[in-house]
Amino acid sequence: MKKYVLKRVVTAIFTLLAITLILFILMQLMPGSPFNDEKLNESQKAALYAKYGLDKPIVIQFFHYVINMFKGDLGVSYKISKNTPITQLIASRLPISIGVGFAAVMIGAVVGLLLGLLAAFKRDTVWDTLATIISVIGVSVPSYVFALALSYQFGFKLGWFPMLFSAKDVVGSSVLPSVSLSMFTMASIARFTRAEMIEVLGSDYMLLAESKGLSGNKLVFSHALRNALIPIITVLAPLVVDLMTGSLVVEKIFSIPGVGSLLVNAIQSNDYNVVIALSFIYSAMYIGIMLVVDILYGIIDPRIRVAKEGD
Amino acid sequence: MSEEKKREKILDVKDLDITFKTTAGDVHAIRGVNIDLFQGETVAIVGESGSGKSVTMRAAMGILAKNAVVNSGQIIYRYRDNKGGIDYNPDNDETAQWKEADILKMDKKWIRKHINGRRIAMVFQDPMTSLDPTMTIGKQIMEGMLWHYKIDKKDAFKRSVELLKEVGIEDAEKRMKQYPHQLSGGMRQRVVIAIALSCNPDLLICDEPTTALDVNIQAKILELIKKVQKERDIAVIYITHDLGVVAKVADYVNVMYAGKIVEVGNINEIFYDPRHPYTWGLLSAMPDLGTDDDRLYTIPGSPPNLLHEKEGDAFAPRNAYALEIDDKLEPPMFKITETHSAATWLLDERAPKVEMPPELKARIERMKKEAEANVS
């Protein structure tokens, strides 16, 4: 198991390096530059390029960046907030994004799970149909549409929650963005849970457990849930990533001062360093979550745990 | 079993009739089934896939699928109250009284508490899928005892180790902590048997217990079931399509076709004096190494789709000996001896005299001779 984790961590580091390189190349390919200001003449621009080291070959830039990164320096912003270190820029914004995102994952996972279980246990009834309709809507409607709809209904018309994010009421003003972000996660998990649960309920080992005379609750809790939920852990990771991309737009709609809206601004204004740093953080979070899920899966599922102990 | 001991009937299935509601329509899966079973004896239910063998037994355990509707019939289960926990044996208790319950009338809670696992236990067909993959072997064996008898965990663990040894698993203590995927198919089936025996049942229902195993293991598992049956004096019902298995284990045989018992008799009557053309077909379809004939007989056609019931005898379309009346009226059970009956119009006194196919007759003669040779 230790060997396995170590192998995975090393692979993850190389993956991140590759991602950083690709980000560098993509940034170069983007049209425009951070200093597209009509007031600047050519020599001033060249001076700015030289100042930030953008005149050097991309490989050199890349190595500089990576070395600095290991020192904990992600460079400075060129445009959005001139010469502010990006670490500082992110430090204040990341917790807000993570807070909203985490709430969304929690809401999505819990509600999705309950909805999926309800649909599976009440299979082919009105409840099942209702759950299916909710999940189809959740999967097919993008989160920003929910964001607009929710903010109109519950923010503007009913006035239950603030329409915009405010630092004074973090919890209250996080409700609508979290709920809109959670819809896709909720719907996907509901569908997946239903399918898994129905498969487990129809399995031979459930019949054997039933033939032992166990009560319905005991059957569900000691046999069905564990077997149905293990595969669900694997879909949670990609869902978290979908949620991150969803947060880009949703943060903008609710004007949440998080990393999502920062990234959108950075892309619009060609602020290379900010784009690279944030994309890097998103990638690192994704790889980190995948790694955690894989390890978790190994701990929970004996079939994988034992196989890994074998090597 | 001592000779003077009275044969106690423990299971009596009477005119069972079950329909499954499906999206395609109603499937009349069980159309009047009667089965008797006595304490300590072995009954085999033989038939093709879909003939209703498993459904009948699931009804007896009260674990029918939700879309099953019992139209009529009774499943009378006779039992004695347990007055002394997991080790109580009513055979040693003179005051133990026989009681009766119609399983079809009892509620789910009662069945779970008194029948499932505790008095009737089941061994399933495929050991590769019938154990919970995420639970240790030990937990799965202990589960029933802890649930039914509320004994403490240490005691349950000790008993489970004993059970594993009884079913022939070495390193029992190590195995207790292992998961199903770490065991071979044969071992898993032994574990399933251990689970079935864990609460000292009176009746073991084996649903094709050897179908998914290779031939070597098959024989060992059958011997194991026979051994525990003898030691514990429990009744066993085999659900199978394999007459080879039936010949090895059964006292009585019920031949089932399209949701009905078409012939019932003791093992000699079914193998040496079969009367129903379907039984003839089944016997002829057994692979035979004793002839030079390389061909393997199969019964022509396929079992009927019970979604569409036909008039008369369900077997008639596949029956080379079918009479005209077979297409109009279902044959009743004709009694041949006290234990032997068959549902075919050929046994009616007005029917033309029809003998079983000569190949089968020759084969039965050969089987008889072999059996005699084995005895002497």
Which residues from chain B sit within 8 angstroms of residue A208, using beta carbons?
122, 124, 130-132, 192, 195
List the one residue out of A113, A86, A138, A142 whose CA is nearest residue A236: A113
Task: Quote the minimal CA–CA distance from B147 to chain A in Å.
Answer: 7
The answer to whether A242 contacts chain B (CB < 8 Å) is: no
pLDDT at A2 over 80: no
Contact between chains at B116 and A209 (C-beta distance less than 8 A): no
Q: How far apart are the first and last CA of chain A?
A: 8
- Please say whether the beta carbons of A231 and A300 come within 8 A: no
Contact between chains at B131 and A203 (C-beta distance less than 8 A): no
Q: Which two tokens stand for residue B352?
A: 């033309």
pLDDT of residue B173: 93
Categorize the per-residue pLDDT at B1 as very low, low, confident or very high, splitting at 50, 70 and 90. very low
The residues, ordered by sequence, that sit 6+ positions from A252 with a Cβ below 8 Å of its Cβ are: A260, A261, A264
From the list A208, A214, A226, the residue facing B130 with the nearest CB is A208
pLDDT for A137-194, tens place per residue?
998 988 888 888 888 888 888 888 887 877 777 778 788 888 988 999 999 999 999 9
pLDDT of residue B2: 46
E runs forming strands in B55-139 = 68-80, 98-102, 120-123
List the one residue out of B189, B211, B223, B269 whose CA is nearest residue B54: B211
Task: Give me the mean pLDDT over the B281-309 stretch.
Answer: 82
Q: What is the ipTM of this complex?
A: 0.85
Tell me what percent of the residues of chain A surpass a pLDDT of 70. Answer: 97
- Helix axis angle, A86-121 relative to A170-201, nearest 10°? 40
- Please say whether the beta carbons of A112 and A188 come within 8 A: yes
List the one residue out of B14, B26, B96, B126 whose CA is nearest residue B59: B14
The answer to whether B82 contacts chain A (CB < 8 Å) is: no
Tell me what percent of the residues of chain B surpass a pLDDT of 70. Answer: 98
- The model's pTM is 0.81
- Please say whether the beta carbons of B45 and B35 come within 8 A: yes
Q: Which of A161-165, A304-308, B44-48 has the weakest average pLDDT?
A: A304-308
The two beta strands, B341-342 and B68-80, are unpaired
pLDDT for B316-362, tens place per residue?
888 888 888 888 888 999 999 999 999 999 998 888 888 888 888 98
pLDDT of residue B84: 74
The answer to whether A215 contacts chain B (CB < 8 Å) is: yes
Q: Which two tokens stand for residue A70?
A: 């290991």
pLDDT for A110-132, tens place per residue?
999 999 999 999 888 899 999 99
- Please say whether the beta carbons of A298 and A234 come within 8 A: no
Task: Quote the minimal CA–CA distance from B199 to chain A in Å.
Answer: 9
What burial letters (b/e) apply to B286-304, b meaning 16+ CB within 10 Å?
A: beeeeeeeeeebebeeebb
Task: Give me the mean pLDDT over the B120-131 stretch.
Answer: 91
Domains of chain B, residue spans: 266-375
- Please say whether the beta carbons of A209 and B139 come within 8 A: no
pLDDT of residue A152: 87
pLDDT for A26-45, tens place per residue?
887 777 777 766 777 778 87
pLDDT at B77 over 60: yes
pLDDT for A86-102, tens place per residue?
888 888 888 888 888 88
Find the DSSP H helices in chain B.
53-61, 108-110, 137-149, 153-166, 172-176, 185-197, 215-232, 243-249, 267-272, 277-284, 358-375
Residue B64 burial class via C-beta count within 10 angstroms: exposed 0-12, middle 13-18, buried 19 and up:
middle
The set of long-range contacts for B316-323, using a CB threshold of 8 Å and a minimum separation of 24, is B318/B281, B319/B277, B319/B278, B320/B277, B321/B277, B321/B346, B321/B354, B322/B277, B323/B351, B323/B352
Categorize the per-residue pLDDT at A309 as very low, low, confident or very high, splitting at 50, 70 and 90. low
pLDDT at A311 over 50: no
